[in-house]
Structure 1
Amino acid sequence: MRRSVQVATAVAGLALLAACANTTDDPPAGPTEGTSAPVTEAPTDEPTTTSPTDDDDGPVAAPAEETNEPAEDVTYSTEPQNDPDWPGSGGDLLPTGVRVGAHEGYERVVFDFQGSETPGWRVEYVDAAIEEGRGQEVDLDGDAILQVIATGVRYPEEAETDLLAQGSFDTEQTDLVDEVFVTGIFEGQNQAFIGLDEQVPFRVFTLTDPSRLVVDLQLGES
């Protein structure tokens, strides 16, 4: 009789231990086959030139609202112009935006850059918009073509390609400037073309915080 009680007690104890073992926290189960876990996308920087045109041909250059004036020795001319250190060297700048605006006496094209340095530059009228590297001619709106070369730029990382300002930018705020086309980065230089109704005097200067390259096109007297 006593032996039967001891056996029953031992069996009950083993059952209790088994029950306690089953109450431990199991790791959460992963998604079953055929299902996927929800994905949260990280926010991205908003580019400065993403407004589509009415006919969805491409982005429209955002307004250039700067009213900054250059130094007194920066004057208008139709002759080729470049910064004193041209052609300069490589840098940390990434071209990220194109903006166009109309002001009293001139229209302005601003090229935005991400980075801490100041771009070098050369701006001049050319007979045709020929893309560096590939040698192909760009079909650009306008009767006059102003080429803009910026130096001190770098190639983007894989995660930065969506930030690049590249391709055609239509203009809605200006009469003289018809189109801006950015061909992109080639051998440390960023090439762009400004299509104009006619050749006019221009001036070029840079601004900082953030880095910008500014091209002003002088308007004739009406």
Structure 2
Amino acid sequence: MRRSARVVMAALAGGALLAACSNGGEEPAPAEPATSSPTSGESASPTPSATGTDDDGSQGDDGATAAPAEETDEPADAADFGTEPQNDPDWPSGGSGDLLPTGVRVGSHEGYERVVLDFEGTGTPGWRVEYVDEAVEDPKGDVVDVQGDVTLQVIATGVRYPEGDDETGRVAQGSYDAEDADLVEEVRVTGMFEGQNQAFIGLDEKAPFRVFTLTEPARLVVDVRTTDG
């Protein structure tokens, strides 16, 4: 057999063998990593982008977006709107309790914008809400930068520190942008100290507000009246 003929036959045989192997043993291409979408709904809470862990073990975040506060519930004895400090009837009693702050939600409704602080656990948070000249973090004394021209300070009592690694990621902490509101610019939760949870609401202008709690689950609600209300 001539040399050129042998070369052609060898090439054909090699090609057939390669085709047979590729039909039966080809490895699948690696799958693209799955991405999860946040669950929507009335009780949804934001998932912060963690940038660090505070001394109490809770997670910080960098500009998470507050989930929408869609509910419009209010108790029959909800307080009137006003600009003076407001607190629950038992203030300043309180201290540590069984509540864990887990979320921040902001919503826009006819006549007002609503900020909801969500809690897990039993009981009802005590509270005091008032306008402050500066957002000062307790107990450090550091001035916190909050978006907006005026600031409402919100103190909730009856809270506890997180326990265990499975709970630290669920604690509401850090800054939450209020994309679903016009008057409310930002909600910043600075953290817990001696049974109190401190947060600041940054507003474009000083406006009347009202405060009340809701149950099942426990929620602390701050409504800020808008100019069209």
TM-score by length of 1: 0.75
Task: Indicate which of 153, 170, 173 corresponds to 1:166.
Answer: 173
Is residue 2:135 matched to residue 1:129? yes
Output the CA distance in 2 between the equivalents of 1:134 and 1:82. 23
Residue deviations 1:11-49, cap 9 Å, x none? xxxxxxxxxxxxxxxxxxxxxxxxxxxxxxxxxxx8711
RMSD: 1.7
Residue deviations 1:169-189, cap 9 Å, x none? 011100000000000001110
Structure 1 residue runs of 5 or longer lacking an equivalent are 1-45
Residue 71 of structure 2 aligns with an amino acid whose one-letter code is E
- Map 1:51-200; keep pairs closer than 5 Å: 57-89=62-94, 90-159=96-165, 160-200=167-207
Output the CA distance in 1 between the equivalents of 2:77 and 2:163. 38
Percent identity, please: 68
**85-94 or 96-105: bigger deviation:** 85-94
Residue deviations 1:40-88, cap 9 Å, x none? xxxxxx8711277xxx952100000111023245110100000001122
Output the CA distance in 1 between the equivalents of 2:77 and 2:208. 16
Output the CA distance in 2 between the equivalents of 1:57 and 1:174. 19
Residue 58 of structure 1 aligns with an amino acid whose one-letter code is G
Larger radius of gyration: 1
Secondary structure at 2:168's aligned position in 1?
helix
Output the CA distance in 2 between the equivalents of 1:75 and 1:143. 23
Give structure 1 regions of 4+ aligned residues with deviation exceeding 2 angstroms.
69-73
**Is the contact between residue 123 and residue 146 of structure 1 (CA under 8 Å) also seen in structure 2?**
yes
**Is the contact between residue 51 and residue 62 of structure 1 (CA under 8 Å) also seen in structure 2?**
no
Output the CA distance in 1 between the equivalents of 2:62 and 2:160. 28
**174-183 or 72-81: bigger deviation:** 72-81
TM-score by length of 2: 0.73
